[in-house]
Amino acid sequence: MNKDELMLQLKEQIIKQLKLEGKTPADIGDHDPLFVEGLGLDSIDALELIVLLQQEYNIKLNNAEQGQEVFRSVSTMAEFILEKQTQYV
């Protein structure tokens, strides 16, 4: 799966996991901030994203600081997942 395909999949998973009713993948820009502005996610949503990473991609975050960087946008999430998957190959 390349980055574009992964970002589309992530957008669909985020919408489902965070119950973002009325949103479609097209509403979420690749580089849009996920928190505060942009999608306006909150701290509980951040925990749900951690669960999503673990559940769907078997990736655990090591610390909170890492989360700030990883969850900046769908693009940064996709890069992080691809990087982790490469490490395991």
Partner 1 sequence: MSGSELKITAHAIIRNGKILRNSETIFESSDTGSDFLREAYEEGLKIDYPKFYKMDALGKSGIIATEVLLQDFDFGKYKPEEAGIVLSNKNSSIEADVNYFETARSFPSPALFVYTLPNIVIGEISIRYKFKGENAFFVSDQFDADWLHFYVSDLIHHQKIKACICGWVESVDENFDTCLFLVEKEQKENAVNFTAENLKEIYGLKV
* Residue of 4, 47, 58, 68 that binds partner 1 (CB under 8 A): 47
Buried b or exposed e, range 69-81, using 16+ CB within 10 angstroms: ebbbbbbbbbbbb
> Residues 24 to 43: which contact partner 1 by CB under 8 A?
40
Rounded to an integer, what distance in angstroms lies between the CA atom of residue 14 and that of residue 45? 9
Count CB neighbours of 8 within 10 A.
17
For partner 1, the closer of residues 18 and 77 by Cβ is: 18
Binding of residue 21 to partner 1 (CB under 8 A): yes
CB of 55 to partner 1, least distance (A): 5
Binding of residue 45 to partner 1 (CB under 8 A): yes
For partner 1, the closer of residues 4 and 42 by Cβ is: 42
Task: Return the ∠ at Cα 32 (arms to 59 and 13), rounded to 5°.
Answer: 40
